[in-house]
Amino acid sequence: MHRVLLFTLTAAFSFVYASALHAETNVTEFLLGRQPAEGAAVHPPERWSATENVDWKVDLPGLGWSSPIVWDGKIYLTSCVSTGEVREPRKGLYLEDLNANNYPVDDAEHTWNVYCLDLATGEMIWEHEAHKGIPPKPHHIKNTLASETPVTDGERVYALFGNLGLYCYDLDGELLWTYEIKPRDTQMGWGTSMSPTVHKDRIYVVNDNEEDSWLIALDKLTGEEVWKVPRDTKTNYSTPYVWENPLRTEIVINGKLFTRSYDLEGNELWRVEGKSAIAIPRPFEQFGLLFVSSGHVAFGENRTYAIRPGASGDISPVEGEPVSEFIEWHTHTGPYHPTPLLVDGNLYMLLDYGFMLCYDAKTGEEVYGKKRIPNGRRFTSSPWTYGDKIYCLNEDGVTFVIQKGADFDVLYENELAEDDMGMATPVIIDDRLLLRTSARLYCIRATDNVANTSGD
């Protein structure tokens, strides 16, 4: 699939009142754009389609599941373009085509690209080819060769391509440095998708694979290695989270069988058993607690933990023994792909196969159990929220709009085009929603001259 970049701009009249209500916000890394910025007075519309409330949309070349990031009115994202025939990504969960090592060898030349687009218009500002060559390793038909979301510190953009390297650009697109990553085998050849994260003067990258797993800290200005520590784990797909709590700053990584925390020099602080064959949701913090979850749909046990700061050693619950004082609560439930969403004190879990659960985030008490999303089918993208609604994008490109609160209620569906497979998590930028599909990038924005305010 080698698409020519095509801009389709709808008539978009900027509503002066809405523009005056807020200043432009930024989304710097993976999953940071799932709620409006604090104090935001406007938000994107609740209803849209492939044509309704579309400020602009642009077809994207190649394939990539990276989410867009935004800084100072510019969008950054990645893709991989093949010169050969490309197998279309396949939706759902299935056993056939499970082992990518058995796929036909892909010997076509590919280019791994970084793009910068104008937030206001969708027009291309710059594009750069990070690498050209034949893919060194296979990837699952549902994965891509550009699934890692880039990160920015407001001065540079860091784009990771898992089996190739980390590429650092300035905001004008000049390549500043490259850190090469040796290709490694992954479980059943499924490929990579662990995004980088930046904190102060360092950028952290995790590479969990079947041969040589590690966590590395690089100098963000030069790309030079500060330290690198091995990880006794195998292939996984969760992005690290830097947890700044009152006691210390930690690097928390969800992993196969265990979630582990490290100090800023790479020393392990604590671990907690997850027991999931793969642990994809990214850890996150809210009101002083760290939330970690995992839940492979077929193999292992599902776990969600709320963890207090200050832990050390193995704090995993042991049957018949008191639970660690550092575990506020835990449950034997967790999602496979989507990261849970915490809003208004409730923790919402979206399960891949079309169910929603809700817990009190402070106590772990169930607000409501498994509720089926009618016709939801399969979900990979993580949910997001604004106004009094929760939004869940399924793999068919349909967003299900759910009422927040103790009563589960699916209000309506927003459907895109037939070729819009939805795997990337959308991003909220003030009154805009950036929604990436397999085919294109949408900028969803009210086009009816009516502002969507946070008080509605």
Q: What is the CATH number of the domain that holds 41?
A: 2.130.10.10
Does a structural domain hold residue 386?
yes
Closest CA to 35 of 246, 304, 346: 346
* Residue 325: how many other CB atoms lie within 10 Å: 10
Instruction: Name the token pair of 161.
Output: 């391509």
Confidence class of residue 12 from pLDDT cuts 50, 70 and 90? very low
Rounded Cα distance, 274 and 282, in Å: 13
Mean pLDDT of the chain: 91
Pairing of strands 241-244, 225-230: unpaired
Total tally of structural domains belonging to the chain: 1
pLDDT at 15 over 80: no
Asked if the structure places residue 454 within a domain, the reply is: no
Question: Which strand ranges, in their side-by-side order, compose the sheet holding 289-294?
Answer: 284-286, 289-294, 303-307, 327-331
Instruction: Please state which of the ranges 19-23, 181-185, 238-242, 311-315 shows the lowest mean pLDDT.
Output: 19-23
Structural domain contains residue 1: no
Tell me whether residue 449 is in a domain.
no
Q: For residues 152 and 71, give the distance between their C-alpha atoms in angstroms, rounded to a whole number.
A: 8
134: Cα separation from own chain's centroid: 26
275 torsion bin: left (phi>0), alpha (psi -120 to 50), beta (else):
left
Overall average pLDDT of the 354-368 stretch: 97
Report if residue 456 sits inside a domain. no
What SS3 class is residue 8?
Answer: strand
Q: Calculate mean pLDDT across residues 283-305.
A: 87
Give me the pLDDT at residue 22, please.
34
Rounded to whole angstroms, how far apart are CA atoms 34 and 69? Answer: 12
Question: Can you point out the beta strands (E) in 14-162?
Answer: 54-59, 69-71, 74-82, 110-118, 124-133, 151-152, 156-161
**Statement: residue 171 has pLDDT above 70:** yes
Which domain range does residue 238 map to?
6-444
The overall pTM is greater than 0.85: yes
pLDDT at 115 over 60: yes
Any domain includes 439: yes
Question: Could you write out the three-class secondary structure of 266-321?
Answer: CCEEEEEECCECCCCCCCEEECCEEEEEECCCCCECCEEEEECCCCCEECCCCCCC
Question: Which residues lie below 8 Å from residue 440, measured CB to CB, with a gap of 6+?
Answer: 57, 58, 59, 60, 420
Alpha carbon of 177 to those of 136, 151, 174, 222: distances in Å? Answer: 21, 15, 9, 7
Does residue 455 lie within any of the structural domains?
A: no
pLDDT band at 39 (very low <50, low <70, confident <90, very high): confident
248-293 pLDDT per residue, tens: 999 999 998 899 999 999 999 999 998 777 899 999 999 999 999 9
Give me the mean pLDDT over the 148-156 stretch: 98
